[in-house]
Amino acid sequence: MFRIDIDKWEEILVTITRNKTRSLLTAFGIFWGIFMLVALMGGAQGLQDMMSANFKGFATNSAIFAYNNTSIAYKGFQEGRAWHLDTDDIERIKRTVSEVDVVTPNITQWGANAIYEDKTFSSVVKGLYPEYEKIEAQDITMGRFINDVDVRDHRKVCTIGKQVYEQLFPDKRNPLGEFIQLDGIYYQVIGVSLSTSNMNINGGSERSVTLPITTMQQAYNRGKEVDIICITAKKGHLMSDVAPKVEQVIKKAHYIHPDDKQAVIMVNTEAMFNMVDNLFEGIRILSWMVGLGTLLAGAIGVSNIMMVTVKERTTEIGIRRAIGARPVDILSQILSESMVLTILAGMFGILFGVFVLQMLEMGTAQTDNPGHFQISFWMAIGSCVLLMCMGMLAGLLPAYRAMAIKPIDAIRDE
């Protein structure tokens, strides 16, 4: 029905060039609409990739608990009482809240100078259990992370972050087995972490020196005190449901009023990640709305120009009908002209959009957080199908108007 031979191609081109100004304006509308759709969708995907890279390796179903002075008097204790989280809270949480998967503490010492030979770097010292890797991936590129034996035997070993490694070992040598000094104590380097996530707990991992938590408790006389406790929820459980239970366990153990909103500081990272996902979902919907709206405006322009074309060719169409042209021939001609104009302009829009997105991707490739800005193959195919459908719809009304022209009326108009 829509087979186009050479004569029809020539006729289509003649029709389009006959109305150059209107055709160019309409083609630009289609071109800009599909370009906006492709660019916005690819741009949104690239920005999401770049933002997601900031949280790379961080558990998305986690929560972090810290302590602060109380704000409500409770059970004989005055308002403003100081208290601390401790290692006993870990067992309490594991025993009481069955929905919790990982429970691990973090002890931090700020401003400790890491010294190797004549080089010094102001670092953040962290005391951790091996399970902490399930909260924040360490990306160990040389050696290993601390293990259970290190914790059990209070070994004086450590892993170092990216900046610590670059400052203390500028010649890029293998630091494994070397000893660095922290506050007068020497620790053997057993691993190097190149993690650069912007989602860090108590200091960036790239500036950190990590010790077994038992070693740090001894070295800095911390006893049972811990600075924060990190948890993850088991599969199938929402952190927004689990975290309040953990908070109540902590408050009960430390005689804190259940309604005290200040004493226990809680950060629900699951809610943060969901908020980011919802933000980009909204951006994608907005991108589709803007792109489709612009395309619709272009399709209306195509329909208008075809209506003008049909009106200008009333006599020609009437004569063709008089000499035997079937209605389907007239329908095929008008629809073909509409689809050709739409598809040509749209394909150039897709190609230009892909080119712009490729430039963006190449521009961010060397950054710490590169983004994938290109649209998918199936989105490109979907855009082509969308163009064909819009071209056909844009030509339907002019085509049916052309089919309704009667030969005798067309000759009388002439």
Domain boundaries of the chain, sorted by first residue: 6-55+274-413, 62-268
- The H-or-E segment that residue 286 falls in is helix 269-312
Report angle CA 54, 228, 207 to the nearest 5 degrees: 45
Q: How far apart are CA 339 and CA 66, in angstroms?
A: 63
The pTM score is 0.67
Closest to 193 measured CA to CA, from 219, 166, 171: 166
Report the chain's terminal Cα–Cα distance, integer Å.
30
φ and ψ at 378, to 5 degrees?
A: -70, -30
Interstrand relation of 119-128 and 179-182 (parallel, antiparallel or unpaired): unpaired
The pLDDT tens digits for 304-349 are 766 666 666 666 666 666 666 676 666 676 667 667 777 777 788 8
Q: Which two tokens stand for residue 271?
A: 């809610």
**What integer best gives the mean pLDDT of the chain?**
80
- Mean predicted confidence (pLDDT) in 70-80: 89
Which sign, positive or negative, has the C-alpha torsion 48, 50, 54, 56? positive
Q: What tokens were used for 173?
A: 């040598």
C-alpha closest to that of 231 among 347, 134, 106, 102: 102
Q: Is residue 109 over pLDDT 50?
A: yes
Reported as a pLDDT band with limits 50, 70 and 90, residue 44 is: confident
Kindly indicate the confidence band of residue 129, based on its pLDDT and cuts at 50, 70 and 90: very high
SS3 at position 110? strand
CA distance 93 to 74: 22
- Is residue 65 within 8 Å of 246, Cβ to Cβ? yes
> How long is the chain?
414
Would you state the structure tokens that stand for residue 17, as one six-digit string? 């060039």
- The CB density around residue 276, as the number of other CB atoms within 10 Å, is 16
Lowest mean pLDDT among 69-73, 106-110, 196-200: 196-200
Residue 226 is predicted with a pLDDT of 93
pLDDT tens string 152-192: 999 999 999 889 999 999 888 889 999 999 988 999 999 99
- φ and ψ at 385, to 5 degrees? -65, -40
Can you give the three-state secondary structure of 85-105, one letter per residue?
EECHHHHHHHHHCCCEEEEEE
pLDDT by residue (tens digit) across 263-277? 999 988 877 777 877
